[in-house]
Structure 1
Amino acid sequence: MGERKISHLNHAGLWEEWKERGNLEAKKRLIENYLHIVDYVSSRLAIGLPKNVSKDDLASNGVMGLIDAVDKFDYKRGLQFETYASFRVRGAILDSLRQGDWVPRSVREKAKKIEDAYQQLEQKHLRSVTDAEMSEYLNVSEKEFQHMLQEVAVMSLCSLEDPIREEESETRLSVMVDDKAKNPDYKVNEFFLKEALVKGLEKLTEKERTVVSLLYYEDLSLSEIAEVMSLSPSRISQLHSKAILRLRGTLEKHRELLMQND
């Protein structure tokens, strides 16, 4: 297929050339125009990862996610491509991290133990539980509990991106991206999943909610949040870990209810 000169086209024109005419030069230009998304997402994810994880490797997998986004995006629906692509890029990077099994089994076990503890205690007390209560339940000192949170902090990057069910690819955050129309069953599940997230957020402490809001809705980095809240980066990391583990417990309960109703 012959390629037409497209240097004068704006983004809308490039999308039309690629989607309607299959112009590969237009696709290439689109990918180049949005490479900054890959750099932004990979840089944010790299902050809390071990030093042995290369940022270049993250970016390489992120580019694959960007290409996938360009292939699947429906420009006629009037959605923001940047938002859609960010989820695809992030998902591609996190998929590669999971496949690489970069989180030690011992860390996963500790995260699961903390998650279960939050779920059991908050179901019992019907409120947010304190660090002292968690420490007593886990039979560790408060200092040891804080150390456990620090250890699992690196894992919390993937927590909400994990599949709702182990055998499925749909993630807990995927409902936030409307890339296709969903059937009625999916919409009902989407409603209750969002309701579960809202309930989970209500159980968080004020500081935990602030961290989640600034990180996931205001797109601040952990170091930027530390400056805003006048706390140390390690303290922000702990608050983030606790928030994610609380939410995981709420969503796990939601998953169990879904399975009972299937």
Structure 2
Amino acid sequence: MPVEPRPTDQRELWRRLRADKDQYAREQLVLQHAPLVKWVAGRIAATLPPHVEEGDLISYGMVGLTSAVDRFDPSRDVRFETYAVTRIRGAIIDELRSQDWVPRSVRARAREIERTHSQLEHRLHRAPTDEEMADALGVTVRDFQDSLLQVSQATVHALDEMWSVSDASGDQVSLLDTIEDERAEDPEAMLADQDLRDQVGDAIQRLPEREKVVIALYYYENLTLREIGEVLGVTESRASQLHTKAVLRLRARLAGGEAELA
């Protein structure tokens, strides 16, 4: 009796996995999308201290990829790659947080910078300059910029995490996970999603021009900080500082917005 050839076409693999719980199909889908893990791990590794091994990040990311394969619904109008990248990044970040590898002093400094930025922006009605931030923090501009570099290694939060939510188990999941059926979306969830995205979009538009460019190139064009530095004509360290300032500004503004709503 001839043996039926095992499928490699993704549509057929998804069909077999969902209909028959075919473990071969599951393994093949994980293997075919494994390059996504290396790509995400490489981007995160570029923002972390040298002692954090990229190989470890890849192993954490594979857990996220496997979870994505198990939970993905091909009937949704969402590309698997988009869905998987969110889960891979989330798995890596969750593991890094559980290890608490960031010194408490750096976390405290990040919170202090966020708080100071929020206060200055509220008072000045514009984004504060490095000089104004340094003066408010009681440090030199050089010390402030050095702090940004330290904080950048602790800021592994992706921009898309700003509109993530918690599921019933308390895990952070993308809002993509909360949509049961594109033809029958929960109106309340849609409104909440759109409102939060509008807030993020408005906060991005209010960023200083160079920081806005960094956000666009990093999150939408998928450039590395080194490549962004080349585009802007600055060093990779300066590009990292600009990225960190932009993310801290966004987090401070969103936190302020939430406080106002409350």
TM-score, length of structure 2 as denominator length? 0.89
Q: Give the unaligned 5+ runs of structure 1.
A: none
**2:142 pairs with 1:139:** no
| Identity score, percent | 38
Q: After the TM superposition, which residues 1-262 of structure 1 pair with which residues of structure 2 at under 5 Å, given as runs?
A: 5-158=4-157, 160=159, 161=161, 169-170=171-172, 174-175=174-175, 177=176, 180-181=179-180, 183-258=186-261, 260=262
Measure, in 2, the Cα distance between the counterparts of 1:169 and 1:107. 25
Whole-angstrom distance in 2 between the partners of 1:58 and 1:225: 23
Alignment length, in residue pairs?
Answer: 253
Deviation, 1:192, is: 2.5
Map Cα deviations across residues 7-49 of structure 1 (whole Å, 9 max, x no partner).
3441101100101111111111111100000111111111121
Deviation per CA, 1:137-195: give whole Å up to 9, x if none.
Answer: 11211111111111111122226437979995447xx34x3552464443333232122
Q: Distance in 2 between matches of 1:165 and 1:124?
A: 31
Partner SS for 2:179: coil
| Preserved contact between residue 222 and residue 237 of structure 1 (Cα < 8 Å) | yes
Q: What is the CA distance between 1:240 and its match in structure 2?
A: 0.5
CA contact (8 A) 2:163 2:196 kept: no
Q: What letter matches 1:194 in structure 2?
A: R
Report the alpha carbon displacement of residue 5 of structure 1 after superposing the two structures with TM.
4.5
Cα separation, partners in 2 of 1:165 and 1:179, compared to 1, 3 Å: closer
TM-score w.r.t. structure 1 length?
0.89
Computed over aligned residues only, the root mean square deviation of the Cα atoms, in angstroms, reads 2.2
CA distance in 1 between counterparts of 2:32 and 2:165 reads 35
